[in-house]
A = this chain, B = another copy of it.
Amino acid sequence: MLAWHWRLAGYGPPLPRDSSGTGRGLSYRDAGVDLDASEVLHGLASRLLAGRREAYTSSIELHGRELVLHVDGVGTKTLVLERLGRLRVAGWDCVVMNTNDVACDAARPVALVDYIAMPRADEHVFREILEGVREAAEATGALLLGGETAILPGLAQGVDVVCTVLALREPGWRGNRVRPGDVLVGLESNGLHANGYSLARRIALERLGGYNVVVDGLDLAEELAKPVRDYTGFLLEAWSRGLLTAAAHITGGAFTKMRRILPQGAAAVMEMPEPPRVFQVLVEAGGVEPSEAYRVWNMGVGLVVATPRDSLDELLSLAKRHGHRAHVLGRVEQAGAAEPRIILDTVYGRITY
């Protein structure tokens, strides 16, 4: 239950690597993201946090209203988008990653500010990003109150795109209250969203010959430039109609992040759909351990929500009405261990976190 979260960083212990047909298997650490080190920082930071903590965000009460302040960035996905001339997606993503997070904790976005760091002032790049921010602000109902654009020669090698969202907790929200027996429903993602790009980039550049390649009919550039799917409206309506007991946005840390929403002694047991082709290609080409893949990438499922069994039909039809493809993945079970566990049955076999 931590509001401090880590771009590109998982939470579990490092996994052993094996070799694959395409050379030594790549891990997130190989791609420059050291999970152990990130975990230490995580612990340091969380001790300093104030406010009421929920699964994704913290809030303060101000004159009877609960306000959430939340920050997230697009990370190294911008390096791919810049190369492909698609930085508008970075503007969109930086907003929607935040609004998805706050909506998981039943908070409605009301305002935002952005932060863009660039090595030099580039009008075209800036215009593209801003257009994406504008679109996403409109889609999610947040007002753009300002921003900072930092020209950072010698510090930024590429474009860094970050956003902070102010959100208002829905009145009467009873909080995360998932229980054994609740059904777990997954909503499809739109590609990698904005996580795990350090590893994806390394695989693309070192094993696949770059971003602009077609692998078995899959246009890799198109896949890597897909925008984050916006779950905000669906989540807020589902909370307000009392259909949810918890929601987990699958971002940095991927399915290990579901630990945040589970009570002690519970396990999330899910049968995962076959991952979309892009994930299969990355796993194969990178020789990535499946258990590494499912804690770095969303593997086709961008959001997991928990619902009481008798709300399932209504939830599924609500998802459909919001344009999302939803799948019943499994349920929350009572487990022996004290720490929450995540058990995934995948095409690669069973994975347990």
Contacts and interface: CB of A to CB of B under 8 A. Distances in A.
Interface of A: 3-9, 31-34, 37-38, 40-41, 44-45, 48-51, 57-60, 62-63, 65, 67-73, 75-76, 78-79, 110-115, 117, 119-123, 126-127, 130, 133-134, 143-160, 162, 164, 166, 168, 198, 201
B146 A69 contact: yes
Given A73-B117, A150-B73, A144 B49 contact: yes
B160 A45 contact: no
10 cross-chain pairs, A with B, having the tightest CB-CB distances, nearest first: A32-B153, A37-B121, A3-B146, A164-B164, A50-B143, A7-B150, A58-B145, A71-B113, A155-B158, A51-B145
Contacts of A159: 155
A160 B156 contact: yes
A157 B153 CA distance: 10
A151 to B, nearest CB: 5
A115 B149 contact: no
A70 B40 contact: no
B75 A153 contact: no
A193 B150 CA distance: 16
8 contacts: A3-B146, A45-B126, A67-B166, A69-B146, A71-B113, A76-B153, A150-B160, A155-B157
B73 A160 contact: no
Contacts of A4: 146-149
A160 B160 contact: yes
A51 B151 CA distance: 25
B143 A51 contact: yes
A28 to B, nearest CB: 10
A135 to B, nearest CB: 11
Given A49-B146, A73-B115, A151-B38, A157 B157 contact: yes
A126 B44 contact: yes
Contacts of A72: 148
B146 A71 contact: yes
Nearest to A9: B151
